[in-house]
Amino acid sequence: MRPMHLVGIRSTAASTGLVAILVEAGGPGMIAVPVTAREGLVLSEPVPSTRPGWVSLLARSVQMLGGSLLQIRLGVDADARLVCGLAIAGRNERGEVGEVPCAPGDALVLASALDRPVLASETLLRLRGVDLGEQTTHERMARWRRSLATAVPEDPPTR
């Protein structure tokens, strides 16, 4: 598992939604996690001042049951879909850690509000990582326009 840091919220292609951009601490890895508009607003605040009420409720509930939220774990399932789990430690004699499945956007809001680490699996970084060197559609279209503008038309074929 690799530590990740939230660097921002970006919109994807026209009207398909928002993503939270996470980068690997001290490394080249980068992933985009889909988030809702509400999650995007909460995560884009420089200081999480407007944390949702459910965050405090969940944190207090886990604490009342004798546990503590350790970290957020992002990974992929057998079909390469993004999955997420909350790693929770109990206060029993063995200090066992359990993992509770969670929506990735909710988990990122929770991590931000409670200042918990976000970890991504090696498999997630390999299968769903974002390549910063990849040309965007806008850049590709601009390159094609330049090529077409400088192209020399050929004579039409004769019969």
Residue extents of the structural domains in the chain? 2-150
The pLDDT confidence band at residue 117, using thresholds 50, 70 and 90, is very high
**pLDDT for the residue 106:** 92
Query: Can you give the pLDDT at residue 94?
Result: 67
Global confidence as pTM: 0.71
Mean pLDDT rounded to a whole number for the chain: 83
Q: What was the pLDDT predicted at 118? A: 95
Q: In this predicted structure, what is the pLDDT of residue 15?
A: 63
30-81: pLDDT as tens digits: 888 989 888 888 888 876 666 678 888 888 888 888 888 999 999 999 888 9
Task: Give domain 2-150's CATH number out of 2.60.40.10, 3.10.690.10, 3.10.20.30, 2.60.120.1440.
Answer: 3.10.690.10
- Residue located via tokens 């409720």: 57
Report the pLDDT averaged over residues 81-103: 85
Longest dimension (CA), the chain: 90
> What span, in angstroms and rounded, lies between the C-alpha atoms of 62 and 54?
12
